[in-house]
Each structure stands twice: as C-alpha cells, then as structure tokens.
Amino acid sequence: MQDEHQILKKVSQARYDLEAADVLIREYLPFIKSEVSKYTGTYTNESSDELQIAMIAFHEAILSYDRDRGTFLHYAQMIIRSRLIDHDRKEARHKDHISLDKENEEGDQLIDMITDGRDKTDEHMRLLATQAEISELSKVLETFGVSFKDLTTSSPKQERTKALIQKMIAKAKEDPSILDDLLISKKLPIQRLTLDKNERKVLERHRKYLVTMLVILTNGYEIIRGHLWRVLKGGTAV
C-alpha cells in the first residue's frame, strides 16, 4: 500500500515533468524488460524494438493513468502488452519480407553484409566529429546559461518569428563584430540586431534561441551549420 502510494506520487509528478518521467522509467526498466521478456519469451536486448515500444508504452501509461484504473503497475503492464501486440500485428504484414536486422549463423546482421556504397569508416569518423561539435556547442551555450532542453521551449513556432530570427542571422553574418561581441560579453547585443521596439520584444522571448543560432554561426560548427544550411542561408528546409 505504501509502495503504491509512492509510485502514484512519482507518476503524478512524471505526468507533467519529462525529467521525472525519465527517472521513473530508469527506475522501472527491470520491470519493463521483464514484461517484454514475458511477452517475447526471450531475453530482452537493450536496443530491441520491443524494449523501445515498451518504454514508450510505459510513458503512455504515466500520461493516461488514473486511480480508477487499478494499480499503476498493473495498468502499465496492460498498456505495454497491448502495444507489443500492435507491433507484432504490424510486423506480421511484412512477414514475407526478410528483416535487415536478422542475424545469420555467424551472428552478423544482414544489413551489415549489404553494400550501399557508403563508407562505414567515414560515417563513423563523421559521427565522432559531429559528437565533438555538439559537445563543444553544449559547453559554449552553458556559458550563456542555455541548455538544449531550454531550446525545446524557446524555439520559434510562428513563421513571422522565424523570419525575424533569420533577419537577425543575416545581420550578424553581414557584421561579424556582432558575433565577436556576443562571445566576449556573453550577452546578446540586441540593440545592434533589432530595428524596432516590437522586434526587440519578440526577440527577448526567444533570446536563448537566437544566442544559439549566432553561436552556431561562429567558427567550429561546420557540421551543424551544414545541417541547418537552409535556415542559415535564409530559406526553409524541406
């Protein structure tokens, strides 16, 4: 009873706090794995599709649970099972196809044996380089008091705001001293960027986002700039 009370408290908190949901899922990962194993009848691999589905189902249970539905774990168990059944039905439609993840007798996956013209070593090196850029960006942003999590809430959604940000990016590209000022003072030189009062107001709401975009414009983020080339050039990605 005490345990159930504790779980309910955590579930209630996790419903509106993704970080708390993440902690709860880590705590109940053995339970989730065990449910998957019970369903599949095999050991659950960390990277298996079933485990990903089960984790998402567990989160779904957190979001939709209420006390009328019995104990939380029983409810989560039901949702996990139901999502795994859905996944199996979907997979059954492709049963005539061979999975690329299927392993041969030597334990190699089919996908690794198919040549697609891509250089795996190059890809790996690129991944490492991208990781290094992201790590560097994260550190620099931290000095501005900005985290990637903050950016998920301060990213502009309206086209008008996006256009304004692009205008500011274009301005900073024209005058690189704005970027220098930003890196030295660790403050957004908003007076040098904005044109009128309303624009300044809009930019204040998206200050963290604009800082990030301007930091990306500085040296050392070629891969990320490549990913965002349409935005940084003034267009929109397709």
Q: How far is the CB of 126 from other proteins (least distance, A)?
A: 8
List alpha helices for 72-206, DSSP H. Answer: 72-92, 110-113, 120-143, 148-154, 159-174, 177-185, 190-193, 197-205
Size of the site for other proteins (CB under 8 A): 43
Span of 34-42, 56-64, 103-111, 183-191 interacting with other proteins by CB under 8 A: 56-64
Residues 161-200 contacting other proteins, CB under 8 A: 162, 165
Nearest in space to 184 (alpha carbons), one of 224, 148, 218? 218
Q: How far is the CB of 40 from other proteins (least distance, A)?
A: 17
Asked if 98 touches other proteins (CB under 8 A), the answer is no
CB 103 within 8 A of CB 109: yes
CB-based burial of residue 134 (10 Å sphere; 0-12 exposed, 13-18 middle, 19+ buried)?
middle
In the list 34, 40, 71, 130, the residue contacting other proteins (rule: CB under 8 A) is 130
Asked if 140 touches other proteins (CB under 8 A), the answer is no
Asked if 21 touches other proteins (CB under 8 A), the answer is yes
Span of 67-75, 96-104, 132-140, 184-192 interacting with other proteins by CB under 8 A: 132-140
Instruction: Tell whether the torsion through CA atoms of 71, 72, 75 and 81 is positive or negative.
Output: negative
